[in-house]
Amino acid sequence: MPSNPSTAWLKRAEGLIGPAYKRLAQALEAAIAQGELQAGDQIPAQREVARLVGVDFTTVTRAYALARERGLIEGTTGRGTFVRSQTGEDEAGLVDLSMNLPPQPRSLNLSALLRETTGAVLARTDPAVLLAYHPGAGSLAQRAAAASWLAPTLGEIAPERVLIGSGAQTALSALLELLAAPGDAIIVEALTYPGLLTAAARRGLHVIPCPMDAEGLEPGALARLCAAHAPRAIYCNPTFQNPTTATMSQARREAIAAVAKAAAVPILEDDAYGLLPAAPLPALASLWPEGVFHIATTAKTLSPGLRIAFVVAPEDRVAETTRALHAIAQMPAPLMAAVVTAWIRDGDALRVLDGVRREAVERRRLAAELLPAAVGGPESLHIWLDLPSGWSRGRLPEAARARGLSLVDAESFRAPGVTREGVRLSLGAPGKAATLARALRELAGLLTAGPA
């Protein structure tokens, strides 16, 4: 099989199932999605692919035609076939319901706002400062801005407790390094964030799933697991839980904090969606500040391109948390941290958050009309659908892909030993609400028809 960069993607078809032309189109799509092929890259002529793969010319013609229908490639007479440039408005190909992104607020021009803020930062800051290494976990001004941003869920907190990190995944990895050694146990939700599962596996941790109900972790089950396994940490996502959208009530939060405190087990509170509700609920870190490590991120409330995380550590563990963050990633990108700080201080961050929230509410309302069986809060960026009867594991995403939809099912989220089935549908990834509506109607029709 070829090793040349322009043909290496053909290897991806070997592990796929289905007709040869579909496997080739899927291999091309995966190579583009994962960055193996970039916009403008030329791909081989159809006869060359047929020779390399060992299929007939007609098969490759069908594969290229399917790729064109999905908006992946374009041909120029006399020049060849190239990977097509994608834009935010280009949704001619597969509609993505798998990536959990905040929808772009229609009331704001984020590009113009970013250019304006970046220009202002560069005008008042020596570029040499922005391009240098920065010790610690953010300046006092950045930490104070972050503390004010988190006030709706955490209340008033000392800026010295807030650390600026380079993304929530980085922060989770650093905190697992801090709290647990290889072989130690941690408790997680039965269906949980895949990034946490990956980080725990790389650390060699024993992951114990805790049963969940409509509000997330069950306090009684959590208490029993703490007593039986002496875990080093409890991980949870208390608001719009990923993937089930379960949200802990005030009473449930108090119960979970009480269980953890009684067992002396610290909590990793991944509060990526905590600021999205119109009336945010108190964070677990506000109920037990001595034992909760709180992680918030701008990726779900402002923009995924602003890879900034805010870590609020217990007061007596700030220094070691700072060292742990520094060991994983020396510092957040200074320019991005400066932009986020400026947005918070100037009120732009609240405007963006309000715009994201309004768009999320509209999309969630649309999803409720088209898929009434799915669950999710009114401002949730995603919804959860338990697998309807008759569908076998993995079959729904496969059937949806055949209709031009990309879904992610429970397999990505299951902790060891968990068998629950379902799909998470992300509402923010399609650039246009009209595209989302078409996708949800297509999915509703597929569910009504049932598995073929």
What are the residue ranges of CATH 3.90.1150.10 in the chain? 95-107+350-449
Length of the chain: 452
The overall average pLDDT reported for the chain is: 91
What are the residue ranges of CATH 1.10.10.10 in the chain? 8-83
Residue written as tokens 């007939």? Answer: 56
Flag whether pLDDT at 3 surpasses 70: no
99-113 pLDDT per residue, tens: 999 998 887 888 888
* Token pair recorded at residue 425: 């549908």
387-444 pLDDT per residue, tens: 988 888 888 999 999 889 999 999 999 999 999 999 999 999 998 899 999 999 999 9
How far is it, in rounded angstroms, from Cα 248 to Cα 291?
A: 18
66-124 pLDDT per residue, tens: 888 777 888 766 678 888 765 444 445 689 999 999 998 887 888 888 889 999 998 98
The bridge status of strand 185-189 relative to strand 233-236 is parallel
> What does the pLDDT read at residue 231?
98
* Cα–Cα nearest to 379, from 306, 280, 309: 280
Q: Are 306 and 316 in contact (CB under 8 A)?
A: no
How far is it, in rounded angstroms, from Cα 444 to Cα 87?
A: 27
pLDDT, average across residues 52-58: 91
Domain 95-107+350-449 has CATH 3.90.1150.10: yes
Q: How far is CA 85 from CA 93, 286, 305, in A?
A: 12, 46, 19
How far is it, in rounded angstroms, from Cα 395 to Cα 390?
A: 10
What are the residue ranges of CATH 3.40.640.10 in the chain? 110-348
How far is it, in rounded angstroms, from Cα 352 to Cα 172?
A: 25
CATH class belonging to 110-348 = alpha beta
- Ramachandran angles phi, psi of 438, nearest 5°: -60, -40
229-269 pLDDT per residue, tens: 999 999 999 999 999 999 999 999 999 999 999 999 999 99
**pTM of this structure:** 0.80
**For residue 194, what pLDDT band results from cuts at 50, 70 and 90?**
very high
Q: Are 443 and 436 in contact (CB under 8 A)?
A: no
> What does the pLDDT read at residue 4?
63
Please report which helix (H) or strand (E) contains residue 119, including its range: helix 110-124
* Cα–Cα nearest to 19, from 58, 51, 72, 45: 58
> What does the pLDDT read at residue 2?
45
How far is it, in rounded angstroms, from Cα 12 to Cα 27?
A: 5
> What does the pLDDT read at residue 85?
67
> What does the pLDDT read at residue 412?
92
CATH number of 8-83: 1.10.10.10
> What does the pLDDT read at residue 243?
97
How far is it, in rounded angstroms, from Cα 347 to Cα 345?
A: 6
